[in-house]
Amino acid sequence: MDFQVGLMDIDICGPSIPKMLGLEGQEIHQSNLGWSPVYVESNLGVMSIGFMLPNPDEAVIWRGPRKNGLIKQFLKDLDFLVIDAPPGTSDEHISIVQFLLATGIDGAIIVTTPQQVSLIDVRKEVSFCKKVGVEVLGVVENMSGLCQRLTDFRFVKLTENGEQNDITERILGYMREKAPEMLDLIACSEVFDSSGGGATQMCEEMGVPFLGKVPLDPHLCKAAEEGRSCFADQKCGVSAPVLKSIIEKLLVTNQWREELMQMRE
């Protein structure tokens, strides 16, 4: 959308952003002006502890003051930030709230999976935000069922001893000949138990907005593994439209688009 965006990865113990954006091996540089981010595009700058590790397999064992010092340095020269935080309510969350609350935090977007085991932790995140005065902009239900085209499935037939015989070509051939209209169908199945109502029910109970459900899309997973944008091609046809819808909803609800356009004028 041509906005100037900074993406900051404050998951110090498990930085995954460099991998997901195809930036492994890149380095950030420090000068008297502060840290210089790594740019994916001209309008997307990224900061991550992952850029500072000589070996991607190396563990980062930092505690309190050192973690907080690094986060504070990262924040100095970025204007518009999306901050990717680890699960929980640890040092990183408390630090980011302390450093940014005075300058104004628009709010937090909380991500969960549908099952109660995940929602128990997420309820604590919502309570944390309310306690420290950070508005919850909304909740996203991730991995909300497996969805993919029928033609992307591998079909197998189990033998009596549990071995799998691949019959994919036979099934696809049958569909092409007898029911070609099925080739465009998308199959969906629940992966996690959502009988408790999932994130939608939790949002109603806790009085926070629900932003949408992102399905478990193998093509999205592959794009993240390869450091590709899911919007760059048509391969993530199941998940990309949902993600775009969530972004649009955030922009409209918070009037960010109008405010940014006015600033440009």
pLDDT tens-digit profile of 248-263? 999 888 877 777 667 6
pLDDT at 61: 46
Give the span between the Cα atoms of 232 and 234, in whole angstroms.
Answer: 7
CB atoms within 10 A of CB 219: 20
Give the span between the Cα atoms of 33 and 100, in whole angstroms.
Answer: 19
| 3-class secondary-structure state, position 156 | strand
- Which residue, among 139, 150, 175, has the nearest Cα to 237 in the 3D structure? 150
Long-range contacts of 238-244 (CB under 8 A, 24+ apart): 238/147, 238/148, 238/149, 238/186, 239/147, 239/214, 239/215, 242/212, 242/213, 242/214, 242/215, 243/214
Number of helices (H) and strands (E) in the chain: give both, helices first: 9, 13
Give the span between the Cα atoms of 183 and 175, in whole angstroms.
Answer: 7
pLDDT at 47: 83
**Which range in 38-42, 90-94, 224-228 is most confidently predicted, on average pLDDT?**
224-228
Higher pLDDT, 263 or 107: 107
Query: Mean pLDDT, to the nearest integer, of 79-93?
Result: 74
pLDDT at 8: 83
pLDDT at 62: 47
Higher pLDDT, 76 or 132: 132
Give the span between the Cα atoms of 183 and 255, in whole angstroms.
Answer: 40
Query: Mean pLDDT, to the nearest integer, of 132-156?
Result: 92
pLDDT at 170: 95
> Does the pTM exceed 0.85?
no
Query: Mean pLDDT, to the nearest integer, of 205-220?
Result: 93
Q: Which of 65-79, 185-199, 228-242 has the lowest mean pLDDT?
A: 65-79
Give the span between the Cα atoms of 162 and 53, in whole angstroms.
Answer: 44
Query: Mean pLDDT, to the nearest integer, of 205-229?
Result: 93
pLDDT at 199: 93
Q: For CA atoms 210, 111, 230, 51, give the dihedral sign.
A: positive
Give the span between the Cα atoms of 246 and 243, in whole angstroms.
Answer: 5
Q: What is the DSSP letter of 212?
A: E
Say if residues 24 and 18 touch (Cβ distance below 8 Å): yes
Question: pLDDT category, 211, cuts 50, 70, 90?
Answer: very high
200 has pLDDT over 90:
yes
pLDDT at 67: 47
205 has pLDDT over 80:
yes
89 has pLDDT over 80:
no
Q: For CA atoms 165, 171, 174, 176, give the dihedral sign.
A: negative
Query: Mean pLDDT, to the nearest integer, of 36-55?
Result: 78
Continuous segment of H or E residues that includes residue 236 = none
Whole-number mean pLDDT of the chain? Answer: 82
pLDDT at 58: 54
71 has pLDDT over 70:
no
53 has pLDDT over 60:
yes
Query: Mean pLDDT, to the nearest integer, of 38-65?
Result: 68
With helix as H, strand as E and coil as C, how does 37-80 read? CEEEECCEEEEEHHHHCCCCCCCCCCCHHHHHHHHHHHHCCCCC
CB atoms within 10 A of CB 96: 23
Q: Which residues contact 58 (CB under 8 A, 6 or more apart)?
A: none
| 3-class secondary-structure state, position 179 | coil
- Which residue, among 187, 186, 244, 165, has the nearest Cα to 211 in the 3D structure? 244
